[in-house]
Amino acid sequence: MGVMRIGHISIKVMDIAAAVNHYENVLGMKTTHIDARGNVYLKCWDEWDKFSVILTSSDRAGMNHVAYKVENDADLDVLKRRVEEYGIKTEILHPEALPFIGRMLTFNLPSGHEMRLYAKKECVGTAVGTMNPDPWPDDLRGAGVHWLDHCLLMCEMNPEKGINKVAENTKFMMEVLDFYLAEQVVVGPDQNIQAATWLFRSSTPHDIAFVAGPRQGLHHFAFFLDSWHDVLKAADIMAKNKVRIDVAPTRHGITRGETIYFFDPSGNRNETFAGLGYLAQPDRPVTTWGEEFLGRGIFYHTGELNAAFTDVYT
């Protein structure tokens, strides 16, 4: 019962054609639908649902909403009641409010980000099928990303005004949507202020993460790759395509993930992420990073913080 995994993310782009080129030829996704408004729907080769990324035309970059898939349609009614009892307004969107998808429960997180939950989306299968499948398809392009893995949302934090949307979001996700806390960064004299959290519902270290910033926004959304070698290959493909790389291949201390960060043509930050890190389970003790170890937690190899990494987001 309840949330299973991330389902899709809808993002704003300023040039649809350039964005499609990026997500198809650099990341290796495929367009599965273009709706009457010109919004483009894409999926990765190892995903079985119709789409995981929606590109919408806008005069600025950023996120429209992020959606998570629940196990049963009846879960939407249960979660609607729980969200409203928590004090957050909800709305049920009718089936086909987005193409190929059933009814959706929509609401804003305490941070203001829009989240949607749904149970039904058209299943089209992976590129290798389910009967005697090969390990990968022959027509992979670009980095050949497997699936949309997670997103990281920036949340307003101002201790002087008593604002900490990271902690508020974390409490909501755990108490209402039954997410579990995998890792956290704590700051302050007593190291009791949550400045970043990584939460999961599947068995990976994070299905969503929250990090403190001066305003709410989208930090990045990430795609899974098999190995460190695949991350390096992705970096080569980005260099060949003159993609703006934010952080060259490295390892996180937090989640243990192997990573490269880069930007799409509109400035939305992407990540290709390899290595499951560890088995995330409800009874696994929470990993905590103190403020003085934050640099090593984010960039394990150098241990040095890059201010632009947290200051620049959409």
Catalytic residue, from 206, 219, 258, 313: name it. 206
- Annotated catalytic residue 68: no
Give the position of tokens 């490269």. 260
- Annotated catalytic residue 71: no
Name the maximum alpha-carbon separation found in the chain: 59
| Cβ count within 10 A of residue 41 | 22
Catalytic residue, from 113, 146, 150, 219: name it. 150
- Annotated catalytic residue 301: no
Catalytic residue, from 8, 220, 258, 313: name it. 220
- Are 179 and 308 contacting, i.e. CB atoms less than 8 angstroms apart? no
- Are 143 and 28 contacting, i.e. CB atoms less than 8 angstroms apart? yes
- Annotated catalytic residue 8: no
| Cβ count within 10 A of residue 86 | 15
- Are 66 and 170 contacting, i.e. CB atoms less than 8 angstroms apart? no
Catalytic residue, from 156, 252, 258, 313: name it. 252
- Annotated catalytic residue 41: no
- Annotated catalytic residue 252: yes
Catalytic residue, from 23, 118, 261, 313: name it. 261
Helical residues (DSSP H) of the chain, grouped into ranges: 16-21, 74-85, 165-175, 228-240, 294-298, 307-311
Closest to 247 measured CA to CA, from 310, 182, 294, 191:
310
Partner residues linked to 9 by β-bridges? 53, 66
Catalytic residue, from 41, 68, 271, 313: name it. 271
Closest to 119 measured CA to CA, from 52, 53, 72:
72
Which residues are tagged catalytic?
150, 206, 220, 252, 261, 271
